[in-house]
Homo-oligomer: A and B are copies of this chain.
């Protein structure tokens, strides 16, 4: 099934069930008010949502309405945990190489995982608000999994059973601040503003054959200012699958339901597949030409992230964001003034 959160003015929004074709939706009000509430009692709630989802897809649901991603918050507008992993190690290898270093060998056993802020997760069309254009604004097109409770020390097989939902994510980072923070040795904090998510979260079964070995076997499209810059295959070159990422995250502590783990920017070894974050493009330029050529994002720039299935249909709906300065006020729409004489 496909789930989304409607912006109804509350902090957690209203849980809705969305049709497979993303054209219509129905409020899940009588079942669970919010997605977190559904996750809190998934074994009891999910079958009820599933029934509603079947009715909707069969055209038998009542009080349906047109689905509009612009009315969506993040599926979880605030969550109890968000962490971004680096599931594509050759990307990390490139990055370290460009910095003149080497990737620590431990990365092959333990996927690099960065704790992120989860108090403010953005909806798919929310602006990326940044105070300073010179901070090196970058996107990071990736996949994310939402887990149920995961016990400490869970094996990858255990962890696999705890994957509840998949989403797309845009892990925005401020690359120039990140460099400073890495030198300081405290991890990323200021360099990680709010992360955005796709309009829709889907249960893995929605992916059919494309969900194999805890990986999604479809390309992820990233467009920057309307130009397609990346379409790497998510399942290819993914060093750690979701089961391994979750098991690693739970290696020293349990994870509670609603935990979101991202793969980090999707990246294929084949450079013709393009890039999911500008940093990767700049690394390739640095290796080839000695210095980066492509600039980071500017105010007014847009980024669109979407995944199409084998039939060319959008699975999660699109993340479609614009970079804006703090305090940006959109221009008033032009109003046709009728002249009365």
Contacts and interface: CB of A to CB of B under 8 A. Distances in A.
Contact of A188 (B78, B118, B187): B187
Most buried by B among A11, A184, A189: A189
Interface residues of A, number: 54
Contacts of A335: none
Contacts of A130: 252
Contacts of A114: 115, 186-187, 189
A141 B248 CA distance: 27
A253 B185 CA distance: 21
A153 B129 CA distance: 11
B182 A185 contact: yes
A183 B106 CA distance: 10
Interface string A63-95: 000000000000000111101001000000000
Nearest to A190: B252
Interface stretch (A50-58, A254-262, A268-276, A301-309): A254-262
Interface in A101-123: 104, 106-107, 110, 112-120
Contact of A115 (B112, B120, B189, B252): B189
A240 to B, nearest CB: 14
A131 interface: yes
Contacts of A184: 104, 106-107, 112
A172 to B, nearest CB: 10
B120 A255 contact: yes
Contacts of A185: 182, 185
A193 interface: yes
Interface in A170-200: 174, 177, 180, 182-194
Nearest to A96: B185
Given A131-B152, A174-B252, A180-B106, A186 B119 contact: no
Contacts of A78: 80, 256
Nearest to A110: B190
A251 interface: yes
A249 interface: yes
A256 to B, nearest CB: 4
Nearest to A256: B119
A132 to B, nearest CB: 9
Contact of A186 (B131, B153, B187, B252): B187
28 contacts: A11-B40, A78-B80, A78-B256, A79-B80, A80-B119, A80-B120, A81-B118, A106-B180, A112-B186, A113-B186, A113-B190, A114-B115, A114-B189, A115-B187, A119-B255, A120-B253, A120-B254, A120-B256, A131-B152, A131-B153, A131-B252, A135-B252, A153-B326, A187-B187, A189-B249, A190-B251, A190-B252, A194-B253
Interface of A: 11, 40, 78-81, 83, 86, 104, 106-107, 110, 112-120, 129-131, 135, 152-153, 174, 177, 180, 182-194, 248-249, 251-256, 258-259, 326
Given A80-B80, A120-B253, A190-B251, 5 more contacts: A80-B119, A83-B189, A113-B186, A130-B252, A190-B252
